[in-house]
Structure 1
Amino acid sequence: MQLKYSKIRGFTLIEVIITSFILAVGLLAVVAMQAVAKRSSFETHQRTVAMILAEDMVERVRLNHIAWQANNPATVTVGDGQTARSKPACAEDSGLMTACSLADVVNYDLYHWEYGLYAKAAGAKGGLVKPNGCVLLSANGELTVVVTWLSRQSFSGITSSNTVTANCGAQSDKRRKMALTTRVAS
């Protein structure tokens, strides 16, 4: 006698478990990918803010180059671990400056730059983490502006031969640096 087997239809429990496991692994991969994207996005944002702040200081020195060259304050450091700068008495909140000395103009530039480093402006969000800014204007008109901040990830193997860049901010394997060097009119 011959037995006829009907075709088995539907899923077995084993097939459902295997499918669930594959889906779970796929979802974990998607979550991990999202975490990497978020971290990369944060690092990119920090670098963009640092570049904007460095360019801001370069433009401030270019606009007020007479005041900066007259005062030529060696290397100036602002930010984390430094004494906070105060706004010069001759400067108003509107930006109007009356009867200011050249030193006051330089201090006002540094005050506003420090303000930007910490993102203290009304409604500002997304400032740098533990920022420092360094400015060096040499006698020959070469201007170096460095912005440093703390990153989430360690990084090693890069050294700088430029002393302004190397000495700006606390040394750490998580410290990131953005440096701009240019010439200013004499």
Structure 2
Amino acid sequence: MKRRRAHGFTLVEVLITVFVIGVGLLGMAGLQVIAKKTAYDATQRTLASQAVQDILTRMRANAGVAGAYLTDDATALEAPASACDSSDCDPTALAAWDLYRWGRVLSEGGEVDDEGAATGGLVTPTACVLAGATTGHYRIAVAWRGITPLPPPEDADDPSDPANVACGVDAYLDAEGIDDYRRVLVLDAFVADPTP
């Protein structure tokens, strides 16, 4: 008697195929989540970079009172009495207005939704303009809360490491009291005093 050979897939082959495809789809979903987190972090860093460049430009345009731009957190500043929307604003009042607007842009992003609520901006930002080691040297820093934790700085005593800048320190603690969600962008800049 002649035996007939089975043709087509067996149930075991189908199950193995489904398993392999399922593992591949799960891997792709994981990559999608990582890509979205990375893109969001990149967007936050871009906004911080643009804001740092903006306040530096304003400081250089108002260089005679560059020291008036020093602040531990521009996002916590109250609106100045004068809006400085006209050209008759004095330099110190203009510096206060620039800092206030800078803090609002970082917090709110300048965008509103359909109900008028602020959208955009950084996640719980801290915006600082700190005095540098020499006259005319300023350290502009923007800190915000990241999505994923980062390792601590390699050398906690190295003043040149941006992670060691005081802006936003201990503002982004995790459940264990570690400040590993803090992101910070630092720009060291020189603003020349125009007076001889």
- Residue 104 of structure 1 pairs with residue 93 of structure 2: yes
Structure-1 residue corresponding to 2:115: none
User: Is 1:15 paired with 2:4?
Assistant: no
The alignment partner of 2:72 has SS state of: strand
Query: Residue 77 of structure 1 aligns to a residue in which SS?
Result: coil
Return the match for 1:184 from 182, 185, 191: 191
The yes-or-no answer on 1:140 pairing with 2:130 is no
Q: Structure 1 length as normaliser, TM-score?
A: 0.83
Aligned to 1:117: 106
Structure 1 counterpart of 2:141, one-letter code: V
Q: Secondary structure at the match of 1:135?
A: strand
Whole-Å Cα distance in 1 between the matches of residues 14 and 70 of structure 2? 68
Per-residue CA deviations over 1:23-70 (Å, capped at 9, x if unaligned) read 1111111111101111111111111111111111111101111132xx
Cα pair distance change 1:17/1:105, threshold 3 Å? same
User: Is the contact made by 2:140 and 2:186 (CA closer than 8 Å) also made in structure 1?
Assistant: yes
> Take 2:95 and 2:161, find their aligned partners in 1: how far apart are those partners?
22
Q: Structure 1 vs Structure 2: percent identity of aligned residues?
A: 29
Higher RCO (CA-CA < 8 Å; seq separation 6+): 1
> Structure 2: how far apart are the matches of 1:49 and 1:127?
7
> Unpaired runs of 5+ in structure 2?
113-117, 171-178
User: Does the alignment pair 1:126 with 2:120?
Assistant: yes
Matching residue within 75, 85, 106 for 2:78: 85
Which residue of 2 is the match for residue 157 of structure 1? Answer: 152
- Quick check: which has more Rg, 1 or 2? 1
| TM-score, scaled to structure 2 | 0.79
User: Alpha carbons of 1:37 and 1:161: their partners in 2 closer, same or farther (altered >3 Å)?
Assistant: same
Displacement after TM superposition at 1:110 (Å): 0.3
**Structure-2 change in CA distance of 1:140 and 1:32 (3 Å):** same
Between the two proteins, the alignment pairs up a number of residues equal to: 175
Q: 2:47 aligns with which of 32, 41, 49?
A: 49
| 1:169 aligned residue | 168
1:147 deviates by 0.5
Cα distance in 2 for partners of 1:90, 1:79 equals 16
CA RMSD after TM alignment: 2.4
